[in-house]
């Protein structure tokens, strides 16, 4: 830690960017665009330390060495080839966190096929949407989703093979079918398909915050860039828990990175059992914990951090949504030995775009990362803005998506005329170049021509000790355009009245932020396929 005299020097050495013409430019790593199969890179890492324990099932304690992971993923690839799968074919992966999820993904990519990851909590509508959109030849899934997929495929008259990763009568399974019948010689002599840099490795759902998720195409080069040594150096020597599944691009990237630094990953369920996660951190002496803000908020609100001290933990990475300043402050206070890292990335950008350093201001999303450029543009003129001015955050990155599968019109609209990716996020950067999120453009509430930020109202509501999560949406009004309404998820055993929350906002915020639309209490909040609050769905529910 730096003392006060050298603090500025330490801060400056932690940054790898410059600012030119109001553009934040990350360090350029000059990664060559050469033929590379990103899964083959992972396979080489697995083969380099065969006895290393790479995965542990948190519940059962079952382990996979790198040799186990290598063999199982190669067998999966061999089976796919025997099914007639060719380079460029799309294979679905609809699963929760388990020991084989990422290994199947590797097997798909080894042979040059494209892995299309989905949420395992499939609704019939989402299942139909993805089957029609990407037309996978085979889908690997878990038993709870198998029947829905098979029935939907039948309705669509698709010849779809459904394989379960666990076991289920009348279905082919990974252990009993996919991984059997391969001789030692073909495993030892297996060679990966040599892909071109722009070949699509992964099709992953976008956030789906404005409707059904788009199918975002990411190339082998995109994933390869995210494994550069400069981007994984701070991950070395850790034992990981990564809550996001492979349905998230982040879950895929982190799984590749864990292998690339020869680290161990503890496989945990992607549920909201916050205390269970803390128990696993203690049991397996986890040093790096990656999760979403909702889990972190539950840890705080349920006072679990007074019960668990977590001496092994060194870093928390918050991803998937923005961790607000007040929660980051509490985490830093309760866990002074832990670096709590707010980061920012988009599926469409293909990478984590910003991250905090140990000297970052609480509540920021940190500084622009290598091979990423960021600008903040005026919402009307689209002119690049200087420090401390709020506008839309736009991105250029070498890892940016190839586009949305079978959706060229939406792909085109996602970029401005100069090729910058439109994020839809409102932000600003300060005089130090540190970036702060404000809200999403699509989430703004229009009250008498005033743009009202839901995030600001939600911050006030979250200060009430009974509130676990607050979501503010705009409800149409024939005179005022929209009225703010709060949808509240309470902590178990806690209570608060609608009037108390309305008064809380009225006391602490301007008149245009008052909860004129009222307060609704719910038992659960709808989420998108990537775990974010489904605000559009909430607006549809309470508008109607």
Q: Tell me, what CATH number does 468's domain have?
A: 3.30.300.30
pLDDT per 10-residue tile (average), the chain, 544 residues:
46 76 96 94 98 97 98 99 98 97 99 95 81 96 93 94 96 97 96 98 79 88 89 87 92 96 92 90 98 91 93 94 91 96 94 94 96 96 97 97 95 96 96 94 85 90 94 91 95 95 94 95 83 84 83
Q: Which two tokens mark 96?
A: 């929760």
From 6, 16, 10, 109, select the one nearest 373 (Cα to Cα): 16
Helix (H, G, I), strand (E, B), or coil: what is residue 264?
A: strand
Q: Are the CB atoms for 310 and 282 separated by under 8 Å?
A: yes
Provide the greatest CA pair distance for the chain: 75
From 221, 219, 217, 220, select the one nearest 206 (Cα to Cα): 217
Residue 513 CA to its chain's centroid (Å):
30
CA 324 – CA 327 distance, rounded (Å): 6
Is 255 domain-assigned?
Answer: no
Is 91 domain-assigned?
Answer: yes
Q: Which two tokens mark 147?
A: 């029947």
**Residue showing tokens 């799968």:** 85
Q: Which two tokens mark 404?
A: 């949305």
For 491-507, b/e burial (b = at least 16 CB within 10 A) is: beeeebeeeebbebbee
Tell me the whole-structure pTM to 2 decimals: 0.87
**What is the number of residues in the chain?**
544
Q: 220, 247, 278: which is the final residue of a domain?
A: 220
Is 195 domain-assigned?
Answer: yes
CATH number at residue 177: 3.40.50.980
Q: Are the CB atoms for 349 and 374 separated by under 8 Å?
A: no
CA 163 – CA 80 distance, rounded (Å): 11
Q: 201, 220, 239: which is the final residue of a domain?
A: 220
Q: Which helix (H) or strand (E) holds 349?
A: none
Beta strands in 17-155 (DSSP E): 17-20, 23-26, 53-57, 63-65, 90-94, 114-118, 138-141
In sequence order, what are the residues at sequence separation of 6 or more whose Cβ sits closer than 8 angstroms to the Cβ of residue 183? none
**Residue showing tokens 């008259």:** 157
**Residue showing tokens 């350029």:** 28
- Name beta bridge partners: 375: 23, 394
pLDDT of residue 532: 76
pLDDT of residue 103: 99
From 387, 443, 364, select the one nearest 19 (Cα to Cα): 387
Q: Which helix (H) or strand (E) holds 421?
A: strand 421-429
Give the residue numbers spanning the domain of 141. Answer: 65-220
Alpha helices per DSSP H over 96-192 = 101-110, 124-134, 143-155, 184-188
**Residue showing tokens 């542990």:** 56
Is 192 domain-assigned?
Answer: yes
From 181, 39, 51, 165, select the one nearest 110 (Cα to Cα): 39
In sequence order, what are the residues at sequence separation of 6 or more whose Cβ sits closer than 8 angstroms to the Cβ of residue 139? 91, 92, 93, 94, 149, 160, 161, 162, 163
pLDDT of residue 198: 97
Is 152 domain-assigned?
Answer: yes
CA 143 – CA 141 distance, rounded (Å): 7
Is 109 domain-assigned?
Answer: yes
Q: Which helix (H) or strand (E) holds 480?
A: none
pLDDT of residue 14: 61
Q: Which two tokens mark 255?
A: 């799984």
- Taken in order 192, 198, 200, 206, is the CA torsion positive or negative? positive
- Taken in order 369, 386, 423, 114, is the CA torsion positive or negative? negative
- Helices 38-48 & 101-110 angle (0-180, nearest 10): 120
Q: Which two tokens mark 97?
A: 């966190």
Q: Are the CB atoms for 369 and 397 separated by under 8 Å?
A: no
pLDDT of residue 206: 83
pLDDT of residue 520: 96
Q: 194, 220, 246: which is the final residue of a domain?
A: 220
- Name beta bridge partners: 486: 472, 519
Domain count, the chain: 2
Angle subtended at Cα 119 by Cα 116 and Cα 125, rounded to the nearest 5 degrees: 95
Helix (H, G, I), strand (E, B), or coil: what is residue 332?
A: helix
Q: Are the CB atoms for 275 and 268 separated by under 8 Å?
A: no
Alpha helices per DSSP H over 184-317 = 184-188, 220-225, 229-232, 249-260, 274-283, 293-301
Is 473 domain-assigned?
Answer: yes
pLDDT of residue 168: 96
In sequence order, what are the residues at sequence separation of 6 or more whose Cβ sits closer than 8 angstroms to the Cβ of residue 84? none
Alpha-carbon distance values, 205 to 97, 112, 182, 248, 427 (Å):
17, 20, 33, 7, 24
Is 227 domain-assigned?
Answer: no
């Amino acid at each position: 830690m730096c003392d006060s005299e050298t603090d500025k020097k330490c801060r400056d050495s932690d940054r790898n960017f410059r600012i030119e013409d109001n553009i934040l430019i990350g360090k350029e790593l000059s990664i060559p665009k050469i033929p590379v199969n990103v899964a083959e890179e992972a396979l080489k890492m697995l083969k380099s330390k065969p006895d290393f324990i790479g995965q542990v099932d948190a519940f059962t304690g079952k382990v996979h060495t790198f040799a186990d992971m290598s063999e199982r993923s190669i067998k999966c690839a061999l089976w796919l080839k025997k099914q007639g799968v060719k380079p460029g074919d799309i294979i679905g992966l609809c699963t929760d966190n388990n020991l084989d999820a990422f290994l199947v993904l590797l097997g798909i990519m080894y042979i040059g096929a494209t892995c299309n990851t989905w949420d395992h909590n499939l609704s019939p509508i989402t299942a139909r949407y993805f089957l029609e959109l990407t037309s996978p030849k085979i889908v690997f899934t878990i038993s709870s989703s198998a029947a829905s997929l098979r029935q939907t495929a039948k309705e669509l008259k698709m010849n779809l093979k459904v394989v379960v990763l666990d076991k289920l009568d009348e279905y082919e399974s990974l252990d009993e079918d996919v991984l059997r019948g391969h001789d030692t010689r073909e495993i030892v002599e297996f060679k990966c398909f040599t892909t071109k840099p722009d070949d699509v490795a992964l099709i992953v759902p976008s956030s789906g915050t404005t409707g059904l998720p788009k199918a975002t195409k990411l190339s082998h080069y995109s994933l390869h860039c995210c494994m550069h040594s400069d981007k994984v150096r701070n991950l070395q020597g850790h034992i990981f828990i990564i809550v996001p599944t492979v349905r998230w691009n982040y879950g895929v990237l982190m799984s590749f990175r864990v292998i690339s630094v020869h680290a161990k990953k503890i496989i945990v369920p992607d549920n909201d059992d916050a205390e269970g996660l803390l128990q696993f951190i203690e049991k397996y002496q986890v040093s790096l914990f990656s999760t979403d803000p909702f889990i972190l908020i539950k840890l705080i609100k349920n006072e679990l951090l007074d019960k668990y001290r977590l001496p092994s933990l060194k870093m928390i990475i918050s991803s998937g949504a923005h961790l607000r300043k007040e929660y980051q402050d509490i985490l830093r206070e309760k866990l002074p030995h832990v670096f709590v890292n707010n980061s920012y990335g988009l599926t469409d950008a293909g990478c984590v775009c910003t991250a905090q350093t140990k000297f970052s201001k609480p509540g920021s999303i940190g500084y622009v990362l290598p091979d990423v450029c960021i600008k903040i543009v005026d919402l009307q003129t689209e002119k690049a803005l200087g420090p401390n001015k709020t506008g839309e955050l736009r991105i250029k990155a070498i890892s940016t998506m190839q586009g949305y599968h079978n959706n060229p019109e939406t792909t085109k609209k996602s970029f401005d005329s100069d090729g910058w990716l439109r994020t839809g996020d409102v932000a600003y950067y300060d005089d130090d170049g540190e970036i702060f999120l404000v809200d999403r453009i699509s989430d703004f509430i229009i009250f008498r021509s005033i743009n009202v930020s839901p995030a600001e109202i939600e911050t006030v509501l979250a200060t009430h000790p009974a509130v676990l999560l607050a979501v503010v949406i705009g409800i149409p009004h024939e005179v005022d355009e929209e009225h703010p309404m709060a949808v509240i998820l309470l902590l178990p055993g806690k209570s608060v009245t609608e009037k108390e929350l309305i008064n809380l906002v009225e006391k602490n915020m301007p008149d245009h932020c008052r909860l004129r639309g009222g307060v609704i209490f719910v038992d659960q909040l709808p989420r998108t396929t990537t775990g974010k609050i489904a605000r559009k769905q909430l607006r549809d529910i309470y508008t109607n």
